[in-house]
Structure 1
Amino acid sequence: MDLDIAPIAGRTELFDSLDGGWPEFMTKDPTGVFYYRHFEEFWPEFTLLAVDRATGRAVAKAHAVPLSYTGSLDLLPETGWDWAIRTAALDRLSGATPTIVSALEIMIRPDLRGTGLSSVMLGAMRDNVAKLGFTDLIAPVRPSGKTAQINEPIDAYARQLRGDGLPADPWLRVHVRAGGRIVNVAHTSMVYGGTLDQWRSWTGLPFAETGPVEVPGALTPIHCDVAQNHAVYVEPNIWIHHRL
């Protein structure tokens, strides 16, 4: 496939072919609004779109944000994805000078997953961040294989290796092969809640008993409290650092 991979440059209409990549409940995180409502205005050069030159259709996209961070790259914040978005938004509003870039998402068109495009887009993101003058890319990675081990503690999952010493998780493995280094776990990377009726509408599940609820696509069970009429999702991610 002959791809044109470049900053978005006003081509958001092509995103339509990338719909359907996430379970509905994953689109309800309120922190994401700070980024996805404004990324084309605030950070267009950090968003890459891959287009198949033969068809003119988008096949993948990659989102990242610049932010100001002076902490240790060996111990990144527990609040992961939410932290990266909030920090980038506040820095943009305050005029703070960014020192580092955080990846937020690499989305592959559903019919093309498993074809190696994720590695191509990660490489393009690394190259783009370096071209923009940054030496460090961090990523609160959502390990794709964790959904099949929903009750496995994230710290133990992050340490699972194959016989060749590479991570057992496929998405972590792509990052490590590209030169990334697993740093630490962001235990509360994405946190949001809703009423039980909202969760029923998002998932099609009854949410009728207090306790953990296993939802397809989630990395950990959702915390359900019938008496309080709410359920809360706390998603862990795994921080990876790419030195460019």
Structure 2
Amino acid sequence: MNSTTTITITTVAERPELAGRLWDFPDSWPGFVQEDLVSWAHYMRIPAEFPEYVLVATDDESGAVIARGLSVPFLLNADDRGGLPALGWDQAVLWAFSDLRRGRKPDTVSAVEVAVSTARQGEGLSGLMLAAMRENAARCGHAELVAPVRPSAKHLEPRTPIEEYAFRTRPQDGLPHDPWLRVHVRAGGVIEAVAPASMTVTGSLAQWRAWTDLPFDETGDVEVEGALVPVHCDAQQGHAVYVEPNVWVRHRI
């Protein structure tokens, strides 16, 4: 689909032998995010159920898988939906699988993930994967790609409201302050809305201690490395909850 002198990007539908290698490389996702229950139930099924919407990048010289891009098709413009959901990532994935089972024709593609090997970050691969995802959505007959973007530098400001952070721009060029949002806007995307509850991770205090190596022994907000907002700990009830906000970006293609 898209190649340079050293990298080839294709779909899992075109190269099914790569489906089992999508997770060969280390990425930068914080571990606790993977405890989101929607992700647990559906994420690993995406390459099997939607192989034509899953991209994989390989190094032409070594053959190594160095990046992946997962997306899913769903019906957005339906009477029972009517707009980009506040539940962001979770809702887009749930709609996609529900529509597949019910035989509803999708009209939109949602990005689910762009991940680059930690050994190859800083080479512009995320931008290449996003461009390939846009091209692939168009090739599959869609007029737009939407993305519940996880701002890459928001974790440095966990107490800044997402509404403020999402629309912050740089004075020199008016582009988004956040690097990953900036990549999307440069690619033609438009920041449309905040998804205030895009992913939710709940667990016992023992689980959170295991996930983060933090004590979680006092009621209140706990800043966790890699978290976009603080995790709320309820020591009396014995659980903690992380509700992650994302930013909806719409790409007309």
Unaligned runs of 5+ in 1: none
Distance 1:19 1:112 in 2: 10
Give the SS at the match of 1:37.
Answer: helix
Q: Which residue of 2 aligns with 1:55?
A: 62
Taking structure 1 as reference, are residues 134 and 98 closer, same or farther at Cα in structure 2, changes over 3 Å only?
same
Q: Secondary structure in 2 aligned to 1:10?
A: helix
Q: CA deviation at 1:239?
A: 0.1
Taking structure 1 as the reference length, the TM-score comes to 0.96
1:118-133 maps to which residues of 2 (within 5 A)? 118-133=126-141
CA deviation after TM superposition for structure 1 residue 37, in Å: 3.0
Unmatched segments (≥5 aa) in structure 2:
none
- Structure 1 pair 132/68, CA: closer, same or farther in 2 (3 Å)? same
Which residue of the partner structure matches residue 2 of structure 1? Answer: 6
Q: 1:45 aligns with which of 48, 52, 62?
A: 52
Structure 1 position 223 matched with structure 2 position 232: yes
User: Residues 120 and 74 (structure 1 numbering): CA distance in 2 closer, same or farther, change over 3 Å?
Assistant: farther
Q: In structure 2, how many angstroms separate the alpha carbons of the residues matched to 1:75 and 1:168? A: 26
Please, which of 138, 142, 164 is the counterpart of residue 134 of structure 1? 142
> What is the match of residue 245 of structure 2?
236
SS of match in other structure, 1:224:
strand
Provide the residue aligned with 1:145 in structure 2: 153
Answer yes or no: is 1:87 the counterpart of 2:98: no
Residue 109 of structure 1: how far off its partner (Å): 0.4
1:75, distance to aligned residue in structure 2 (A): 5.1
Q: What is the percent sequence identity of the aligned residues?
A: 45
Tell me how far 1:123 sits from its aligned partner: 0.3
The 1-side partners of 2:169 and 2:78 are apart by 28
| Aligned residues: CA RMSD | 1.6
Q: Does 1:27 align with 2:31?
A: no
Which deviates further from its counterpart, 226-235 or 32-41? 32-41
Q: Which range moved further: 36-45 or 146-155? A: 36-45
Determine if contact 2:76/2:82 at 8 Å carries over to the other structure. Answer: no
Does structure 2 conserve the Cα–Cα contact (< 8 Å) formed by 1:18 and 1:107? no
TM-score by length of structure 2 reads 0.93
Distance 1:242 1:20, change over 3 A: closer
**Greater Cα shift, 27-36 or 16-25:** 16-25
